[in-house]
Amino acid sequence: AMALSGVRVLELAGLAPAPLCGMILADFGAQVVRVDRPPQSAAAVDVQARGKRSLALDLKQPQGAAALRRLCGGADVLIEPFRHGVMEKLGLGPEILLQENPKLIYARLTGFGQTGKYAKSAGHDINYLALSGVLSKLGRKNENPYAPINLLADFAGGGVMCAMGIVIALFERARSGRGQVIDASMVKGVAYLSSFLWKSQNSGIWSRPRGENLLDSGAPFYEIYRTSDGKFMAVGALEPQFYNQLIKGLGLDSDELPSQMSFSDWPEMKKKFASIFAQKTQAEWCSIFDSTDACVTPVLSFNDVASHQHNKQRSSFIKNDQGEISPRPAPVLSRTPAVPSCKRDPFIGEHTEEILLEYGFTKQEIAKLYSDKSIAFRNPKANL
């Protein structure tokens, strides 16, 4: 059995962070039901639906909201991704659901959180990143701050932090027998993620303007360089012993160079390193650095990453039934590792009847919900 086998999760359909949270739980064995809005089509926008089943339920219909209340009575976890106040208007707030099921873990995953000036405001990753302070640290010298896709706030500060909160709450519930509400804010999540930045402020690492420090593209030995074939090498030779191996691999003599930590020489050293990296292909640089501790690695594209020898040896990527490649769940547990589903993602409403029956609804109750347009099936004729 996987680590989360037997845990019943209801994930209210949303964008990006909540689906990742649900997928992490499903990958490690939880029974995750994605509660979808009845569809205009059977296709879902959730591309992180691995291992989930779909129940199409209209929460705006009183009967639909009542059905979710009943489902929550038999669930361990509810993942709710709506803005503050939406669930309360539907009569599905945590006060009601935890009164009916005191063991329920009610995870509220939002951008700005359940309280505060922006609690009811719309936003996206770039806004949460900005409000957390982290965005001010990202970017090169003399350029605007730069948001790295939507990985940091949506997924790291949101989906992953929420999954961690759920697992922590499940662990605590094993002792107390009681559920609780999780307020997973992406602003607070990504701020917490940046704890090292806060706690290292007095260490000198961040004493210079953005883009001129050790880890933010200021240093020539912590940088990305273009190769002669238009590819890139990532250099992270921070420690002196690693830096010495970098210098050796580049064919330079350390006695003829300024000291590694001479800030004033960094711009000139960057130009020197760039001109040298531009003289060989990525493969040629790999043959020079792969057997060293110079901390120099190829920047792999999505097309190349799964076939790289290291990733192949660790089976770091998997292929589903449709031939789509994606990362294997992490971290790896020795006794109860994640065994991700290889099946295609569910269609909206594909498992509606199956799930309702599991949660104790009768066929007659399901037929009534369907006639009331509170639920939908992908293929109702095949189900009723």
Catalytic site positions = 124, 154
Residue 321: C-alpha distances to residues 43, 115, 313, 341 (Å): 17, 43, 21, 9
Residues 6+ apart with CB under 8 A from 144: none
| SS3 of 195-212 | HHHHHCHHHCCCCCCCCC
Q: Find out whether the peptide bond into 331 is cis, omega within 30 degrees of 0.
A: yes
Nearest to 278 by CA among 338, 331, 225: 225
Cα–Cα distance for residue pair 372/38, rounded to 1 Å: 12
> Position of tokens 């706030």?
153
DSSP-derived 3-state class of residue 179: coil
Q: Which amino acid is at 78?
A: L
How many other C-beta atoms can be found within 10 angstroms of the C-beta atom of residue 246?
23
> What φ, ψ does residue 108 adopt, rounded to 5°?
-105, 110
* 8 Å CB contact between 63 and 47: no
